[in-house]
Structure formats: C-alpha cells, structure tokens
C-alpha cells in the first residue's frame, strides 16, 4: 500500500502532462496485445508447410496445393501462396497475383508499428513539456520565499518526474517496436521464399508447355 501511495503522490507531482503519458502507456499496451495476438494467429512452421507444398508443386498438382494453402489460412504465408496458385489455375498472371498478395500481407503485418514509432518520439517530448512547466512554476516569484532555498530545488526535482516518466514510456515503446519489427521481417522473408518457390514451379510448367508446342 505504501508503494501505491508513493506512486500516486509522484504522479500528482508530475503535473497534468502525466495524464497524457498514462494515455500513451495504455495505447502502447493495447497495440502490443493486438499485435502479439495477430502475429501468433499467423504463426506457422514454414519448413513443414513447404514440405507439404513442394511435392504437390513438383507433380504440378496445383489444385491440391491450393487446398493445402486454404487449410493453413489465416496464415499470411499460405494466403500469399494460395493467391498465386489460384491465379495459376485461372490462367492469370501468377507473378502479379503473388506481388499484390505479398504487398497486402506486408501492409497488414506492419500495421500499427508506425504508431509505436510515434510514441517513441512523442513521449520524451511530453515529458520535457511537463518538466518545463514544472520549472516555470518552481522559479515563479511566488515560490521564492526568504530563507527557504528548497522551495526552488524541490520544485525542480518534482518537475523532472515528467521527464523520467516520458523516457520510460518511450523506452517501452522502442523495445516493443524493435521486437515486432523483427517478427515482421522474419514473416516477410518466409513469404518471399515461398513466393519464389511457387513462381519457380509455375515457370517450369509454362516452359514445359512451350516446349511441347514447339515440338508439335
């Protein structure tokens, strides 16, 4: 209880900017929970998925390969590969379908990461704003009392609470941004590898058809 009381006391000493910093903290937590659950829903064992896909692609059983991708959804990797295979079955441009699906998947993976980057910059600025406001109040003529030098130094110490809080919030946002960025980069790399795999086997199919027509 004493720790909670001290925390509340420090919060009030930090000034009105502390409410904005608390809002930033809640915003960060909301994004972190949403992104964590979203990435976990997309998680798939890429080697196992490719091992299921490659034998079907080698035998040019693209319809069955597309069904494997549908069963693995909502995984982004399977969705992109499935879009390319569906385009192949329709006779459309596979490369364009894969590129469009990959760009859409990457945009969804990077969603809200810019918001975390914004908080990394915004939180220290809010903390500095709270400190400046607190120091202005500390150096006010109304706080300068004869024989009480602590009237100023104590006020400056309280004003620095906002800066410390802002830096703490920014540090948390930076750590989460770095963690989620690494996860996104790994997922995008897996998508690119699987996309190249699908394209290579589709091109083999097209090349085989072209050679057959030339022989005929």
CB 162 within 8 A of CB 14: yes
Instruction: Check if the beta carbon of residue 194 is closer than 8 Å to that of residue 85.
Output: no
- pLDDT at position 215 is 42
Q: How far apart are alpha carbons 5 and 184 in whole angstroms?
A: 40
Of 134-138, 152-156, 174-178, 197-201, the range with the highest mean pLDDT is 174-178
Phi-psi region of 192 (alpha: psi -120 to 50; beta: other; left: phi over 0): alpha
Six-digit token string for 117:
């980057």
**Nearest by Cα to 43 from 80, 72, 67:** 72
Distance CA(109)–CA(78), nearest Å, equals 14
User: pLDDT tens digits, residue range 174-200?
Assistant: 999 999 999 999 889 888 888 888 888
Every domain of the chain and the residues it spans = 2-215
Q: Is the pLDDT of residue 210 over 70?
A: no
């Amino acid at each position: 209880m004493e720790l909670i009381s001290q925390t509340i006391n420090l919060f009030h000493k930090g000034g009105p900017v502390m409410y904005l910093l608390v809002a930033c903290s809640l915003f960060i937590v909301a994004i972190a929970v949403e992104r964590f659950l979203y990435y976990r829903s997309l998680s798939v064992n890429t080697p196992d998925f490719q091992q299921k896909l490659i034998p079907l692609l080698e035998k040019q059983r693209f319809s069955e390969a597309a069904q494997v991708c549908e069963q693995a959804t909502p995984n982004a990797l399977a969705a992109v590969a499935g879009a390319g295979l569906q385009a192949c079955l329709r006779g459309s441009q596979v490369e364009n379908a894969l590129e469009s699906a990959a760009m859409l998947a990457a945009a969804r993976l990077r969603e809200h990461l810019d918001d975390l980057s914004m908080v990394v910059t915004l939180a220290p600025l809010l903390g500095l704003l709270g400190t400046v406001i607190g120091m202005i109040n500390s150096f006010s003529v109304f706080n300068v009392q004869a024989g009480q030098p602590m009237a100023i130094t104590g006020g400056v110490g309280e004003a620095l609470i906002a800066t410390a809080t802002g830096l703490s919030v920014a540090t948390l946002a930076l750590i989460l941004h770095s963690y989620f960025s690494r996860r996104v980069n790994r997922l995008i790399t897996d998508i690119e590898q699987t996309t190249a795999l699908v394209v290579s086997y589709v091109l083999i199919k097209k090349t085989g058809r072209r050679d057959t027509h030339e022989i005929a």
